[in-house]
């Protein structure tokens, strides 16, 4: 059981790097979105939020299954947690931009 949890968590953790690349490209887009661009960004943000939620759930399951704090520090490195927080903040920022855009239309 623990092996499956480790594998699933590692898979989600590895996806964070790809999310970072995608979200950084979106963040570079100017504030003046076309409707098509805004819709694409909404879709990417939605998928990214779902992936972050899966990461969080898998991390929580792994933490519940492993009682050894030292082993948890190896399996759930601080870098991954910092990246998770960074990506979560980017998503919030992008959502604010998109909501602000809708209000101005």
Q: What's residue 29's pLDDT?
A: 64
The pTM assigned to this predicted structure is: 0.85
Q: What's residue 86's pLDDT?
A: 96
Q: What's residue 74's pLDDT?
A: 87
What is the number of structural domains in the chain? 1
- Domain assignment present for residue 22? The answer is no
Domain of residue 53 covers 1-13+35-101
Secondary structure (3-state) at 88: helix
- For the ranges 13-17, 31-35, 69-73, the maximum mean pLDDT occurs at 13-17
- Domain assignment present for residue 87? The answer is yes
Q: What's residue 81's pLDDT?
A: 95
| Residues 52-83: b if buried by 16+ CB within 10 A, e if exposed | beebeebbeebeeebeeeeeeeebbeeebeeb
- Domain assignment present for residue 56? The answer is yes
pLDDT tens across 41-100, in order?
899 999 999 999 999 999 999 999 998 888 888 889 999 999 999 999 999 988 888 877
Secondary structure (3-state) at 74: helix
- Domain assignment present for residue 66? The answer is yes
Residue 103 has pLDDT above 70, yes or no: no
Q: What's residue 91's pLDDT?
A: 93
């Amino acid at each position: 059981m623990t092996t499956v949890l480790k594998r699933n968590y590692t898979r989600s953790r590895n996806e964070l790097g790809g999310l970072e690349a995608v979200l950084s490209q979106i963040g570079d887009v100017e504030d003046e979105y076309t409707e098509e661009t805004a819709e694409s960004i909404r879709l990417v943000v939605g998928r990214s939020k779902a992936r972050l939620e899966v990461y969080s759930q898998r991390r929580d399951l792994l933490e519940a299954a492993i009682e050894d704090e030292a082993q948890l520090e190896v399996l759930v490195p601080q870098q991954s947690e910092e990246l998770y927080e960074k990506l979560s903040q980017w998503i919030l920022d992008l959502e604010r931009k998109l909501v602000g855009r809708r209000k101005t239309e």
